[in-house]
Amino acid sequence: MKYQFNTRRKKYGTGAALSLLNGNVGHEVLAFHKKLPNYAVTPLHNLAHLSRRLGLGSIHIKDESWRFGLNAFKGLGGSYAVGKYLADKLQCDINSLSFAALNTPEIKEKIKDCVFVTATDGNHGRGVAWAAEQLGLKAVVYMPKGSSLIRAENIRHHGAECTITDLNYDDAVRLAHRMAQTKGWVLLQDTAWTGYEEIPTWIMQGYMTLAVEAYEQLAETNSPLPTHLILQAGVGSFAGSVMGYFVEKMQENIPNIIVVEPHQANCLYQSAVMNDGQPHCVTGDMATIMAGLACGEPNIISWPIIRDNTSCFISADDCLAAKGMRISAAPRPGTDTPFISGESGAIGVGLLYELMNNMHYQDLANRLQLDANAHVLLISTEGDTSPDIYEDIVWNGRSA
């Protein structure tokens, strides 16, 4: 792994504005999600044995494989953005809106021509397709080359039109943007650029539900609040959302925040290395087993939040994601609860294990204050969204 400590981290209240990610917004978003079909709080696993094994105070991991039956967290962002867009279109307050209300004949007549378009490696597109399906609306999804056929079929299962392109992720986003402009469709993309910021903000706000749930679950079980957050990142929307909520909630007691990316798509790490305060892109095929993190262009909305609050940026090898998947699936019998964590979901576990077990990184672990007083919160953002890849890694030992 490669790492870069952040010299631009700010004290609470002096960095990027967090008003769009505060506790009030989080509870508003959660209230919206509670009205959706299949809503349930996802599990927060206490990995007590692993924390003792690694010499840490505690490890908790939020298991988003249970979210809405979609096997990943992304439906939170897509559904909330659809809700906000339609609330604006109907000129009503989202707090008074539910998917049940949107399915009344009068409202369905007003929204029937809406078509949502997006680019995805799989999870975000499935979330958008699922949200559109609940309302009988059309979704069009473009996937980058090399995308899993199973993930594409899962998207089509929700009635969406889905195409695997010969483009990388960032170029697939540009294709979705062009199609939205040409066809008059609604671009529902989970990254932002100049002139396209409102919908990505709604998507980031949608992700807050899992952060609110995790915070409340820790409180309900009398567990310590996190001293450390390890957050995986692609464009940074998820990482910015979760850290924004916890920073605003914990204020002067901000956790140490570690952002981890794959080597082949480490745009946030590279931005930290450049250290000019600006987001920087990486290009190429970005071949990594962590398909959900294979993004080369930072979200310009989340970047200031990440820049001002992250303690350390880490660029990690695929083998750490594979290790995290195996540790999650096969704890020592009779100890921690086993759970299924996919390639992009398990990198936090694999990274933490490597930091605490590899003597080469002992100094890094010490500098990060990963010790017996550390209480670490991780998010497993997906389950086995591509079962064949999952089995190849967990059963057959594939590491890249």
Catalytic residues: 74, 121
Q: What whole-number distance in Å separates Cα of residue 184 and Cα of residue 15?
A: 37
Which residue, 308, 312, 326, 305, is CA-closest to 370?
A: 312
Can you read off the two tokens belonging to residue 367?
């500098």
Local structure of residue 66 (DSSP, 8 states): G
DSSP state letter for 222: T
Sheet holding 44-46, edge to edge: 2-5, 312-316, 256-262, 228-232, 375-380, 58-63, 44-46
Residue 276 burial (CB count, 10 A):
8
Residue 69 dihedral angles phi and psi, to the nearest 5°: 70, 15
Task: List the one residue out of 220, 292, 281, 225 whose CA is nearest residue 252.
Answer: 225
Place of tokens 């071949």: 287
Instruction: State how far the Cα of 372 lies from the Cα of 51, in Å rounded to an integer.
Output: 9
Q: Do 338 and 395 form a contact (C-beta atoms < 8 A)?
A: no
Closest by Cα among 388, 396, 391 to 150:
388
Which amino acid, one-letter code, is at 166? D
* Assigned token pair, 396: 């057959």
